[in-house]
């Protein structure tokens, strides 16, 4: 990654960046921070991964994706450099390099950049941020980052840089202590949720779910320490008009009321469960459900089960940052669901596209994977274009 960035002239060094990592909420915190800064009049680069429909979503300015022609042109400039490299960068690293180059060329006032995975070795961690954020720490990607939250935070905390402010919403005592330890060793000013700031003064947030109030508090705290002034009015206006696809997103497919949420680990599923309790009390949903095989599927099912009337497990193949991946097999998923939530009816869905054309329900929750949500968003966009 360093060789590629050097060959590109180190565009990351020209940027003012809010760098956001964590197990859950990092995408929402990025989106909220970018929305506030844009409302304040700044030209804001926004990088989040994975994308839902188009890879161009990873290179956004003022929440508008890079035009496809410009994306192709930028890629064509980078390919000759990659071809000369002995150790080739990954698909993900190429998109990160393109993002830094695009934002630098466009002279954004500030970039909000989401960590892809972990922290220590993530492609985004080549930058020197204005402020770093660790939203929280839970068990995810345990095969890569470790099987305890303490091991995982040891990786994620490496986005903390010398003398640069750090904001965190981590709640576990052991995790907070490890973040405090790292910040102290880096002489990095640290601002912790419920110690240095709270959710109490956060204006109303239009996104559903109490976790989004926490994410908004983290975004506001990060902005306060990034060096760009933002007024309370800017914050209030931005939070009142947030529209974030795939996060408790409500839409319709045909005559069916659909909720799309990309919850794809136990921490995110717990947040979704609480949001459903808060906003749809005493209501259960049929659920179209797909998940990657590296997740704690049984625990995710148990967390969502109180809100489920009928399970529709499915699978799909999707391009990921680690190559083309197939979600967990639908039949095997059905077995896990049956064991974890034995009282509910289960109907395997062999082809989610066929299912969506004739949804046998008046309401439907689609969750378990951002890749599933993205696939449904793409299908819905194409379906509505032709009908």
Q: Residue 319, SS3?
A: strand
Which tokens in the block code for residue 179?
A: 């973040």
Q: What is the pLDDT of residue 140?
A: 57
Q: What is the pLDDT of residue 355?
A: 95
How many secondary structure helices (H) and strands (E) does the chain include? 14, 15
Q: Is the dihedral of CA 129, 220, 115, 67 positive or negative?
A: negative
Cβ pair 284, 155 in contact under 8 A: no
Residue 231 to residue 234: CA distance in whole angstroms: 5
* CATH 3.90.190.20, applies to 249-386: yes
Q: What is the pLDDT of residue 35?
A: 98
Q: Residue 1, SS3?
A: coil
Residue whose token pair is 């459900």: 289
Domain assignments of the chain as residue spans, ordered by start: 2-240, 249-386
**Residue numbers of the chain with a pLDDT score lower than 70:** 139-147, 319-326, 384-387
Backbone dihedral region of 194: left (phi > 0), alpha (psi from -120 to 50 degrees) or beta? left
Our measurement of the distance from residue 249's CA atom to the centroid of its chain's CA atoms, rounded to an integer in Å, reads: 14
- CB within 8 A of 151, min separation 6: which ones? 145
CATH no. of 2-240 = 3.40.1190.10
Residue whose token pair is 């050097």: 6
- Residues 4-62: pLDDT tens digits? 999 999 999 999 999 999 888 899 999 999 999 999 999 999 999 989 999 999 999 99
Is 257 exposed, middle or buried (CB count within 10 Å of its CB: 0-12, 13-18, 19+)?
Answer: middle
- Residues 80-131: pLDDT tens digits? 999 999 889 999 999 999 999 999 999 999 999 999 887 888 899 999 999 9
What DSSP designation does 305 have?
G
Q: What is the pLDDT of residue 324?
A: 62
Using alpha carbons, select from 320, 346, 317, 318 the residue that is nearest to residue 331: 346
Q: What is the pLDDT of residue 385?
A: 63
Using alpha carbons, select from 204, 203, 37, 214 the residue that is nearest to residue 130: 37
């Amino acid at each position: 990654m360093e060789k590629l960035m050097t060959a590109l002239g180190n565009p990351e060094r020209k940027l003012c960046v809010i760098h956001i990592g964590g197990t859950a909420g990092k995408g929402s915190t990025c989106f909220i921070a970018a929305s506030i800064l844009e409302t304040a009049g700044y030209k804001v680069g926004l990088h989040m991964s994975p994308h839902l429909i188009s890879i161009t979503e990873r290179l956004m300015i003022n929440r508008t994706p890079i035009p496809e022609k410009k994306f192709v042109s930028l890629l064509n400039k980078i390919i000759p450099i990659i071809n000369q490299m002995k150790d080739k960068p990954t698909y993900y690293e190429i998109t990160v390099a393109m993002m830094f180059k695009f934002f630098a060329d466009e002279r954004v006032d500030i970039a909000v950049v989401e960590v892809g995975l972990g922290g220590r070795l993530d492609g985004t961690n080549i930058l020197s941020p204005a402020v770093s954020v660790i939203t929280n720490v839970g068990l995810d990607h345990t095969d890569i980052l470790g099987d305890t939250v303490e091991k995982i935070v040891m990786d994620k905390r490496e986005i903390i840089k010398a003398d640069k402010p750090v904001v965190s919403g981590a709640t576990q005592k052991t995790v907070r202590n490890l973040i405090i330890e790292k910040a102290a060793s880096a002489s990095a000013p640290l601002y912790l949720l419920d110690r240095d700031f709270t959710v109490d003064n956060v204006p109303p947030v239009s996104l559903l779910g109490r976790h989004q109030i926490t994410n908004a508090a983290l975004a506001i705290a990060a902005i306060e320490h990034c060096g760009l002034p933002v007024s309370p009015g800017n914050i209030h206006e931005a939070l009142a008009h947030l529209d974030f696809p795939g996060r408790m997103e409500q839409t319709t497919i045909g005559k069916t009321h659909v909720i799309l949420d990309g919850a794809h680990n136990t921490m995110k599923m717990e947040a979704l469960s609480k949001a459903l309790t808060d906003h749809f009390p005493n209501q259960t949903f049929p659920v179209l459900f797909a998940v990657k095989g590296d997740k704690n599927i049984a625990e995710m099912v148990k967390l969502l089960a109180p809100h489920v009337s009928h399970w529709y497990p499915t699978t799909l193949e999707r391009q990921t940052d680690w190559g083309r991946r197939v979600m967990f097999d639908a039949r095997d998923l059905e077995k896990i669901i049956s064991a974890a939530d034995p009282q509910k009816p289960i109907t395997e869905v062999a082809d989610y596209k066929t299912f969506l054309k004739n949804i046998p329900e008046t309401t439907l929750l689609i969750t378990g994977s951002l890749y599933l949500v993205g696939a449904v968003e793409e299908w819905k966009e194409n379906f509505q274009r032709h009908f």
